[in-house]
Amino acid sequence: MAFVYLALAIVAEVVATSALKASDGFTRLWPSVTVAVGYVLAFYLLSLVLRSIPVGIAYAIWAGLGIVLVALVGLVVYGQRPDLPALLGMAMIIGGVVVIQVFSRFAAH
């Protein structure tokens, strides 16, 4: 169940971060509400994850996948195209998450 909570925390964080741009400096009501609710939900779910997954592993997955997903939202919603170094960096982040999950005994399953 911890990985379900982690996936939901990542989605909530991505929604909140994406809405942060749309909030225009917290001058627009509904995007601002989405930011607040999304971050509260993300951190609550992350706190549940930390009951069974080590904090370093959970945060690495949460932050890494969040970076990649926010970049995808930036591309699709805001037309922000990452350049080659950004794509390579995101590929390394994904690779790091895979290495942790597949090879690390530190990760609790």
Determine the Cα–Cα distance for residues 21 and 66; give it in Å rounded to an integer. 15
Prediction pTM value = 0.85
Closest residue by Cα to residue 43 from 16, 72, 79, 3: 16
**Share of residues in the chain with pLDDT > 90 (%):** 76
Q: Is 109 inside a domain boundary?
A: no
| 41 — pLDDT class (breaks 50, 70, 90) | very high
Q: 29 exposed, middle or buried (CB, 10 Å; 0-12, 13-18, 19+)? A: exposed
Question: Across residues 83-109, what is the average pLDDT?
Answer: 84
- The whole domain housing 72 covers 2-103
What is the count of structural domains for the chain? 1
Task: Check pLDDT > 60 for residue 88.
Answer: yes
Query: Does 32 or 99 have the greater pLDDT score?
Result: 32
- Name the CA dihedral angle for 19, 22, 27, 29, rounded to a multiple of 10 degrees: -60
Determine the Cα–Cα distance for residues 14 and 22; give it in Å rounded to an integer. 13
Q: Is 108 inside a domain boundary?
A: no
Q: Is 78 inside a domain boundary?
A: yes
Q: Is 91 inside a domain boundary?
A: yes
Q: Is 66 inside a domain boundary?
A: yes
Q: Is 86 inside a domain boundary?
A: yes
Q: Is 63 inside a domain boundary?
A: yes
Question: Across residues 69-80, what is the average pLDDT?
Answer: 95
